[in-house]
Amino acid sequence: MESTRNDIYERVTAQIIQALERGAGTYRMPWHRTGGDTFAPLNAQSRKPYRGVNVLSLWAAADHYG
């Protein structure tokens, strides 16, 4: 279990570092955009909002993939 948790932390840290290295560009913080879904990503099956670092990871992925 501990190695799985570390893998997740490493993956999220790598995403943050990559985003920082790419620079700001035309980036707008998700909470400054319009539309409720950009602020609180929802689980497609349960419809519950994601929380914590999952939100940051999903925002980074959404920004990366457009």
pLDDT of residue 46: 95
Q: What ranges do the domains of the chain cover?
A: 2-65
> Does the predicted model carry a pTM greater than 0.75?
no
pLDDT of residue 14: 87
Burial of 42-59, coded b for 16+ CB within 10 Å and e otherwise, reads eeeeeeeeeeeeeeebeb
pLDDT tens-digit profile, the chain (66 residues)? 566 777 888 888 888 888 788 876 666 666 666 555 456 788 999 999 888 888 878 877 877 787
pLDDT of residue 19: 78
pLDDT of residue 48: 92
Where do runs of H (alpha helix) occur along the chain?
2-22, 36-39, 53-65
